[in-house]
Amino acid sequence: MEKYSFDERLVYSQRLNKRYPDYVPVIIKKSVNDKTLTESYHKYLMPKKTKFSELIFIIRKKLDLKSKEAIFIFAKDTLIPMNNTVGEVYNFYKSDDNFLYIIYRTENTFG
């Protein structure tokens, strides 16, 4: 069940893009298979020039992950390279409503 209709999301993202042309609307969700006990939904307005590695740092800090936990970031079921900028990923993976939907999943790396 969607909280907002497609048309409402599209109008909202267009308004954001017009008001903040150097920023990208990003919605970050937890993978359905992820077992962390954290919130599963975050909204951000990220600068286009931000590297994805910086976004990972923000997400790790927000989730309060331990150093032994790895985080993987996907857009449209594709693992995102950390050296790309948010703007590059947005241009390639944005959805039809002009939001960039990111799915994260955490894994224990050392057992």
**What would the DSSP string read from start to end of the chain?**
--SS-HHHHHHHHHHHHHH-TTEEEEEEEE-TT----S-SEEEEEEETT-BHHHHHHHHHHHHT--TTEEEEEEETTEEPPTTSBHHHHHHHH--TTS-EEEEEEEEES--
pLDDT winner (highest mean) among 16-20, 29-33, 70-74 = 16-20
- Residues 55-102: pLDDT tens digits? 888 888 888 888 888 888 999 999 998 899 999 999 999 999 999 999
Whether residue 45 is predicted with pLDDT greater than 80 in this model: the reply is yes
**In the chain, what are the domains?**
6-108 (3.10.20.90)
Which pLDDT does position 40 carry in this prediction? 62
- Indicate the pTM of the whole model: 0.86
